[in-house]
């Protein structure tokens, strides 16, 4: 009797092990195929980051819209983290209204282009009143005015193999972490209707502290993913180029 039970237990255990191993294998295969693995998936913390990213991407696959607020709900205080670039060029640009500044869009696109601030302002304008939350815990509501990123990507012609969009700001020696705090997002976030290249905030020009002349505005991700002081946007299919190992926070900031 006990022998039978042992054999039965053994069979059940082996079947369960094989089933769960193949289940995990199938899940990894499926996740890789449908773009559910984030660039920072390595290491033990990568397990949690991958589970979070994959579950969020499955749940938000319908391009769900972040909550929008009424004009009366705009916050009175809009705190700023970090300090604007301290170089001569940036100060001159601030003084002359960014005359001579250009935003380069290149990489996996049909027609690499660069835009002046006026050219970006000439594109269809959109404004969204959304919540901006910092990973430290504070938050505010503001109106963000700018052009939809997907509109700019349409102009340059995104190639179908593009998987990530990399945002590079000017060099900023004021940054404690790195001189260039660059960031990247996946195509789902890049093509989202609320993802903006913002040049205005609350009916004003984007202030220097908030990333003038242009900052990336992601309504569905935390503040640290909203790269300020943009100078270049590059499309890539290379996961390694989308990952910044110097960053200690998670690559996916929808958390």
Partner 1 sequence: MNYEPARTSLNEATTAPRHSAVVRITHWLVVLGVGGLIFSGVGILISHPRLYWGETGAVGAPSLIDLPIPFIIGPSVWQRPIHFLFAWLLVFSGLTYVVAGLITQHFRRDLLPAKTEMTWKRIVSTISDHMRWKRIAADEAWTYNVVQQMAYLAVIFVLFPAIVWTGLAMSPALMSVFPWMVTVLGGHQSARTLHFVLSSLLVFFLIVHIAMVFLVGFTSRVQAMITGRVPQARSAR
Binding site for partner 1 (CB under 8 A): 44-45, 47-49, 51-52, 56, 59-60, 62, 64-67, 69, 73, 75-77, 79, 131, 133-141, 219-222, 224, 248-250, 254-255
Cβ proximity to partner 1: between 110 and 246 the closer is 246
At 97 the three-state DSSP class reads coil
Q: How far apart are the first and last CA of the chain?
A: 53
Pairing mode, strands 183-186 and 164-169? antiparallel
Let me know: does 201 contact 78? Beta carbons within 8 Å: yes
CB of 227 to partner 1, least distance (A): 15
How far apart CA 183 and CA 49 sit, in angstroms, is: 16
Cβ proximity to partner 1: between 19 and 255 the closer is 255
- Residue by residue, what is the 3-state secondary structure of 66-81? CCCCCHHHCCCCCCCC
At 17 the three-state DSSP class reads helix
User: How far does CA 225 lie from the centroid of its chain?
Assistant: 5
Cβ proximity to partner 1: between 67 and 111 the closer is 67
Residue of 4, 156, 127, 154 whose CA lies nearest to 69: 127
CB of 179 to partner 1, least distance (A): 18
Let me know: does 152 contact 195? Beta carbons within 8 Å: no
CB of 34 to partner 1, least distance (A): 17
Cβ proximity to partner 1: between 3 and 248 the closer is 248
CB of 196 to partner 1, least distance (A): 15
Cβ proximity to partner 1: between 102 and 247 the closer is 247
Q: Looking at the chain, list the stretches that DSSP marks H as alpha helix, in order from N- to C-terminal side.
A: 2-33, 43-59, 88-96, 117-121, 149-156, 187-190, 239-242
CB of 88 to partner 1, least distance (A): 29
Cβ proximity to partner 1: between 136 and 238 the closer is 136
Residue of 205, 166, 170 whose CA lies nearest to 189: 166
CB of 217 to partner 1, least distance (A): 12
CB of 247 to partner 1, least distance (A): 8
Phi, psi of 188, rounded to the nearest 5 degrees = -60, -45
Cβ proximity to partner 1: between 6 and 64 the closer is 64
How far apart CA 174 and CA 152 sit, in angstroms, is: 29
């Amino acid at each position: 009797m006990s022998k039978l039970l042992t054999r039965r237990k053994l069979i059940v255990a082996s079947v369960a092990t094989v089933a769960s191993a193949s289940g995990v294998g199938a899940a990894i295969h499926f996740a890789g195929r449908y773009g559910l693995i984030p660039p920072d998936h390595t290491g033990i913390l990568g397990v949690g980051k991958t589970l979070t990213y994959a579950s969020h991407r499955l749940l938000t696959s319908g391009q769900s819209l972040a909550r929008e607020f009424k004009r009366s709900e705009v916050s009175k205080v809009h705190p700023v983290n970090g300090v604007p670039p301290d170089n001569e060029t940036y100060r001159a640009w601030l003084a002359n209204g960014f005359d001579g500044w250009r935003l380069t869009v290149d990489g996996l696109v049909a027609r690499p282009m660069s835009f002046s601030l006026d050219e970006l302002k000439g594109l269809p304008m959109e404004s969204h009143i959304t919540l901006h939350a910092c990973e430290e815990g504070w938050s505010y509501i503001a109106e963000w005015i700018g052009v939809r990123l997907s509109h700019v990507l349409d102009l340059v012609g995104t190639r179908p193999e593009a998987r990530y969009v990399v945002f590079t700001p000017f060099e900023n020696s004021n940054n404690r972490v790195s001189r260039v705090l660059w960031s990247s997002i996946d195509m789902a976030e890049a093509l989202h209707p609320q993802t903006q290249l913002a040049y205005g905030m609350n009916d004003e020009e984007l202030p220097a502290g908030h990333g003038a002349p242009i900052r990336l505005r992601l309504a569905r991700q935390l503040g640290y993913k909203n790269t300020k002081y943009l100078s270049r946007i590059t499309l890539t299919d290379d996961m390694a180029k989308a990952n910044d190992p110097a960053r200690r926070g998670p690559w996916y900031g929808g958390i």
